[in-house]
Structure 1
Amino acid sequence: MLRSLSSLWNCQPVEGGRPPRGSNLALFLACSLVGLVAIAGCRIPSETAQAQQAQPGQAGGPGGGRPGGGPGGPGQGGPASVETAIARSGALQEAPTYTGTTQPVRQASLRSQAEGRLLELGVDVGDSVREGEVVGRLDSRLLSAAVSQNRAELAALESQVAQAQAEVSDARAQAAQSEVELQQARMDSDRLQKLAAEGAVSQQQADQAKTAALSAEQVFRSAQERIRTREQAVVAAQRRVQAQQATVAETRERQTFSLLTAPLTGIVLERLTEPGNLVQPGNEVLRVGDFSALKVAVQVSELDLGQLRVGQAVEVRLDAFPDEPFAGRVSRISPAADPASRLVPVEVVIPNSGSRRLGSGLLARVQFQAGQAGRVVIPEEALEAGGEGNDSVLFVVEGDGAEARAVARPVQVGDRANGRIEILSGLQPGESFVLRSSRPLEDGQPVRLSILSER
């Protein structure tokens, strides 16, 4: 055939110049057809050989925790390709999630304790304040006038006390004089009574002396009563002074109310009045929140109440920061459920002392840990069939790089749910286990970690 092709390719034109037009066209078509057939015949054996060489390498099967998809089959040597995962503690079932809104852990209102026109208010919404810091001032002229008036009244009352005490002194002096006169009158009466008995003086003189003694005694008693009256007046005046002193102290304290101070350390949430407005006692001026921590109030179903306790750790996610979970704890569980909805108010506290300061009013999703969160949970497909009761086998990867080996390890399993299973014993958090393999594994078999392996 090659010879005929060669003769065709080497055909020469007829003597005497150009061949006839019809014969030249037929010859060209015949040469082209024969060339194509020759080229196709040469390529077919080559492709057949390549296909025959590729067939032995197609052994292997789909992968799982036991046999797996990938290059190589049971009959091939070398490490088996495996996909590994890291054992972690967790909950078998998804924990319930409840929504709430972030709020400052404490809130307080700054209210005026006195009446007056607001002169200054030096903070605005978002400003930080410290407890006791002066943030505003009221017009204190009326309070100052009241303090002055009360002090003047106090001085007048104190003068009344001094006057009453002077009257007591006078009464005591008069009483002392009356006592001396009484003693003299009694002595005269006694002497004249003796003389009258002896006949030295008349009985009338003796009787007059006795009457004078009785009069002196009456004067002395009146003087003593006057002393008691004056002393009572002093006590009453002193009590009025004490009352007025309390009034002065109260007025002075009210004068200090003209200085508005922050009720707690935090951030101003709301400014409710402006300078120039008249403020009455009890009017709210500012609202301050403590953002050292945030609280989230959620309504929990009574069915989940048995899983909650005060101090329990929870995970909180905010829609404002979807990729950043926040750790919190249960701070309060209401003792009473809503009789209509059967929901129980539960309060969760989130620390807020990090570099990112969270605000209030954010939508929060609170997830309470359910079940035995301390147990290792793995995909059920990683287990090898075998064992009795709750016993099974999985392969743990030991060693690194070329020294990696798959070691069969018996484990005790617990509950199963949603394709996941609890490991009660035999596997510790942080250990690497085989999730899928390219072929069935044996204890101690060398393995090579795939790019999908968790490290």
Structure 2
Amino acid sequence: MKEAKSKFSYSYLLAFGFCVAPLLVGLTGCSGMPKAEAEAQNRRPGAERGPTSTPVDVAIARPGVLQEAPIYVGTTRPAVEVSLRSQAEGRLLNLNVNVGDRVGRGQQLGQLDNTLLFTLVTQAEAELATRDSEVARAKTQVSNAKARAEQARVTLKQAQTTAARREFLQKQGAISLQDAELARTEARTNEQAVLAAEEQIRTEQQAVAAARGRVAAQRAVIAELKERLSYAKLKSPIDGVVMERVSEPGNLVQPGGEVLKLGDFSQVKVVVPLSELELPNVRVGQLVQVKLDAFPNQTFSGRVARISPAADPTARQIPVEILIPNQNGQIGSGLLARVQFTQETAPKLLIPQTALQVNRGRGRGAGVQGSRGAEGQRGRGAEVQGSRGDANTQSPVPSPQSPVPSTESPNQGTIFVVMGEGREGKVAARPVVLGDRANSRVEIVSGLEAGERYVVRSGRPLKDGDAVRFSILSEGVGNPSSAAENRPNNARQRNQQ
């Protein structure tokens, strides 16, 4: 009995194994099916049972700059640089300042040996005293000459009176003719004496003028020597900062020898070379933004102060000088500066080209409406559109890869504007007029207003009136500070996955 029972159990297990084995093989074959084939089956019309709304990346239309202004590199320098040089010869006795010290206009910074100059000034002053005594003597001679002239005039007057009286007496016959003539002769002699005395006065006055001239010349010599003596005191010609000590105490300094380098840092300047093609976009007084690597968290504002009239003949670049206020003195010399000229054009309404549908039959490139770009239209998007066949009664928006007849001009396109509030809504196809393009963005001249929401990318081709739901990359959804059109790298990674 036990033997028959064991045979029955063995037959039962054998039959169960034959039944289960094909089932396990079938399951194993199903699990080994390629992923692409499984996805293709999921995309079949019969298997497609997804939601009716299409996932889209949405952005808000805002004005912006189509092309950022180029950045030019330069080096900071003080607005005014002065070399303090000696105007006299002498040994440098001391320097009162060091590199980095602030100095004021007229402040004494150093001293030269002035012993020789001081001796020369003393000798010149002694010579001046001699010249002054000469002037005094000449003035005395003038006074004496005037006294003699006055005495000669009195004598002349008396002789003229005597000559007149004797002439009268001679006519009356009281005296002889000879006595009258003698009186007249004496009068003429006194007249000549007066003339000689007056001439002596003029001569003595000329001597006084000559003596005074020698005094004035000597005073000029003394003034020059004192001026040279003042050169021994090295004084700052500007308000600024000591940049370099060229000479040190103990050195013999020649006239014109450099002792210190000073800089005025109330403003700093940056000189950048511009191409002759960029020069029409720059003018004197134009605002400039400057960033310094030494202060990465600050942006400094400056102005174009000077445009050089001469260009470098080899590089054909024109130096442009920019002045930056530096009231607190934090900007030093030799710092790397990155200069960006402020654009004076008004911001334009811009959208990424991926949001644009343009007729490619006329040879104009376009952005791609879909999550995979142009390659996605050839791949998954195209398969979805083709697999639906006639089951779709409303044809979707044509793929940019498939030119279709259109009446749009090359500067026209179509975008999808999102209608509704919240995380879901409907899209409306809207024609827009296009402007300039750059950096994967295009200017919208008309057809879209700032603040409107539009579709940047969609999970599948859209048509007018389609219901959509916003993805996490949409602006204002998930991370409020992130805009969909500013995440091309994320979309590219998503497409590659």
Q: Please give the TM-score of this superposition, normalised by the length of structure 2.
A: 0.67
Deviations 1:407-431 (A, max 9, x none): 8766432122452222334667787
Moved more, 101-110 or 139-148: 139-148
Quick one: distance in 2 between partners of 1:444 and 1:128? 72
Question: Hey, what does 1:435 align to over in structure 2?
Answer: 456
Rate the CA distance shift 1:441–1:200 in 2: closer, same or farther, 3 A.
farther
> Superposed, which structure 2 residues align to 1:45-194 within 5 Å?
76=51, 80-84=55-59, 87-92=62-67, 95=69, 98-194=72-168
> Superposed, which structure 2 residues align to 1:267-306 within 5 Å?
267-291=241-265, 292-298=267-273, 300-306=274-280
CA contact (8 A) 1:147 1:252 kept: yes
Q: 1:84 is matched by which residue type in structure 2? A: A
Question: Hey, what does 2:216 align to over in structure 1?
Answer: 242
1:211 aligns with 2:185: yes
Deviations 1:7-32 (A, max 9, x none): xxxxx99xxxxxxxxx9xx99xx89x
Quick one: distance in 2 between partners of 1:209 and 1:74? 161
Secondary structure, in 3 states, of the residue corresponding to 1:135? Answer: strand
Consecutive unaligned residues in structure 2, runs of 5 or more: 32-37, 360-406, 476-481, 484-497
Shift of residue 132, structure 1, vs aligned partner = 2.8
Question: Hey, what does 1:70 align to over in structure 2?
Answer: none
Shift of residue 215, structure 1, vs aligned partner = 1.3
Question: Hey, what does 2:379 align to over in structure 1?
Answer: none
Secondary structure, in 3 states, of the residue corresponding to 1:273? Answer: coil
Quick one: distance in 1 between partners of 2:181 and 2:442? 127
Shift of residue 168, structure 1, vs aligned partner = 1.5
Question: Hey, what does 2:203 align to over in structure 1?
Answer: 229
> Superposed, which structure 2 residues align to 1:410-425 within 5 Å?
411-425=432-446
Quick one: distance in 2 between partners of 1:429 and 1:162? 96
Quick one: distance in 1 between partners of 2:89 and 2:102? 26
Shift of residue 209, structure 1, vs aligned partner = 1.5
Secondary structure, in 3 states, of the residue corresponding to 1:424? Answer: strand
Quick one: distance in 1 between partners of 2:138 and 2:60? 98
Identity over the aligned pairs, expressed in percent?
45
Question: Hey, what does 2:232 align to over in structure 1?
Answer: 258
Secondary structure, in 3 states, of the residue corresponding to 1:303? Answer: coil
Quick one: distance in 2 between partners of 1:357 and 1:319? 13
Moved more, 326-335 or 354-363: 354-363
Shift of residue 307, structure 1, vs aligned partner = 3.2
Shift of residue 276, structure 1, vs aligned partner = 1.8
Rate the CA distance shift 1:146–1:397 in 2: closer, same or farther, 3 A.
farther
Moved more, 255-264 or 351-360: 351-360
Q: 1:416 is matched by which residue type in structure 2? A: R
Quick one: distance in 1 between partners of 2:224 and 2:175? 73
Q: 1:336 is matched by which residue type in structure 2? A: A
Question: Hey, what does 1:51 align to over in structure 2?
Answer: none
Question: Hey, what does 1:450 align to over in structure 2?
Answer: 472
Q: 1:295 is matched by which residue type in structure 2? A: V
Count of matched residue positions in the alignment of Structure 1 and Structure 2: 410
**Aligned Cα root-mean-square deviation (Å):** 4.6
Q: 1:348 is matched by which residue type in structure 2? A: E
Q: 2:316 is matched by which residue type in structure 1? A: L
Consecutive unaligned residues in structure 1, runs of 5 or more: 1-11, 14-22, 49-53, 60-72
Rate the CA distance shift 1:405–1:274 in 2: closer, same or farther, 3 A.
farther
Q: 1:105 is matched by which residue type in structure 2? A: A
Quick one: distance in 2 between partners of 1:259 and 1:122? 11
CA contact (8 A) 2:132 2:211 kept: yes
Quick one: distance in 2 between partners of 1:74 and 1:141? 108
Secondary structure, in 3 states, of the residue corresponding to 2:118? Answer: helix
Rate the CA distance shift 1:162–1:425 in 2: closer, same or farther, 3 A.
farther
Secondary structure, in 3 states, of the residue corresponding to 1:361? Answer: coil
Shift of residue 393, structure 1, vs aligned partner = 4.6
Q: 2:124 is matched by which residue type in structure 1? A: N
Shift of residue 284, structure 1, vs aligned partner = 1.0
Quick one: distance in 2 between partners of 1:225 and 1:354? 72
Secondary structure, in 3 states, of the residue corresponding to 1:236? Answer: helix
Quick one: distance in 1 between partners of 2:419 and 2:119? 88
Q: Please give the TM-score of this superposition, normalised by the length of structure 1.
A: 0.72
Moved more, 397-406 or 281-290: 397-406
CA contact (8 A) 2:276 2:316 kept: yes
Question: Hey, what does 2:479 align to over in structure 1?
Answer: none
CA contact (8 A) 1:91 1:370 kept: no
Deviations 1:386-414 (A, max 9, x none): 89443445466799866999787664321
Rate the CA distance shift 1:186–1:264 in 2: closer, same or farther, 3 A.
same
Shift of residue 335, structure 1, vs aligned partner = 2.5
Rate the CA distance shift 1:324–1:127 in 2: closer, same or farther, 3 A.
same
Rate the CA distance shift 1:345–1:385 in 2: closer, same or farther, 3 A.
closer
Question: Hey, what does 2:370 align to over in structure 1?
Answer: none
CA contact (8 A) 2:66 2:437 kept: no
Q: 1:450 is matched by which residue type in structure 2? A: I
CA contact (8 A) 1:128 1:266 kept: yes
Secondary structure, in 3 states, of the residue corresponding to 1:287? Answer: strand
Quick one: distance in 1 between partners of 2:118 and 2:329? 47
